[in-house]
Amino acid sequence: MDKYQVLKQYFGYDEFREGQELLIDSILSGRDTLGIMPTGAGKSLCFQIPALMMEGITLVISPLISLMKDQVEALNQAGIHAAYLNSSLTASQYYRALAYAREGRYPIIYVAPERLVTEEFLDFALNTKISMVAVDEAHCVSQWGQDFRPSYLKIVEFIDRLNVRPVVSAFTATATKEVRDIGQRALPVVGGADGTHDGLRPSESLFRSPGTEGQVCDHEEFPGTASGTEWRDLLPDQKKCGGGQR
């Protein structure tokens, strides 16, 4: 199925919202992708649809148990096999879910960031084809924010330990000035090919939506958003994206 067929069959929509298709195409082309979209803009579809089209498993790193449960339930109701791995599961439930995952039952698995570097999960990840790591609520990486999760700082370590580097995508509705260190220090989505954070790689794209409009910039950097975020600090040594604010 193509992306339009997936959108219609599993999610019931005839067309994409603004920005969704651009992010999906970026991921499917193998680019690391950062999406900054307001709440309710449909960020989850931007990684769920590619996950259903890529060979292997997509790991969705999410900080909220309730969000994991809601999204997994919605996917299962839509006929998509998905699971979550977090502290709400008993030990037997957790190991059973991992066993099913090893069998390839789930194209999408939601996982709490604290689980990434545990021995059991690493053993699973190192012996499974991980096609994409999608970081939801990516603003949790900011040590200056009230939603800071120290475990988000382990994401790079986890990805670096995988046998084959997957596509990395990150999504957030929060683009405050305090969150601008997201690409500099903690997420590989805007890091160098060798794991250093020295600018945007040729295989990366970003999308910013300040509300109703957005843009994709390849190999470039965003101007300040309406809230004054300085994206030149996110992507150093890159030319500004033309067109100014939208």
3-state SS, residue 168: strand
Determine the pLDDT at residue 207: 57
Q: How far is the C-alpha of 83 from the C-alpha of 98, rounded, in Å?
A: 9
Q: What is the pTM of this model?
A: 0.75
Tell me: pLDDT of 246 over 70: no
- Helical H runs in 1-60? 3-11, 20-28, 43-53
Neighbours of 37 (CB within 10 A): 24
Residue 121 binned pLDDT confidence (cut-offs 50, 70, 90): very high
Determine the pLDDT at residue 189: 53
**pLDDT mean over 190-214:** 38
3-state SS, residue 170: strand
Determine the pLDDT at residue 206: 54
Can you give the length of the chain in residues? 246
Query: Residue type at 145?
Result: G
Residue 156 binned pLDDT confidence (cut-offs 50, 70, 90): confident
Write down the mean pLDDT value for the chain: 74
Tens digits of residue pLDDT in 33-57: 888 888 788 899 999 999 999 999 9
Contacting residues for 81 by C-beta, under 8 A, at least 6 apart: 75, 105, 106, 107, 108
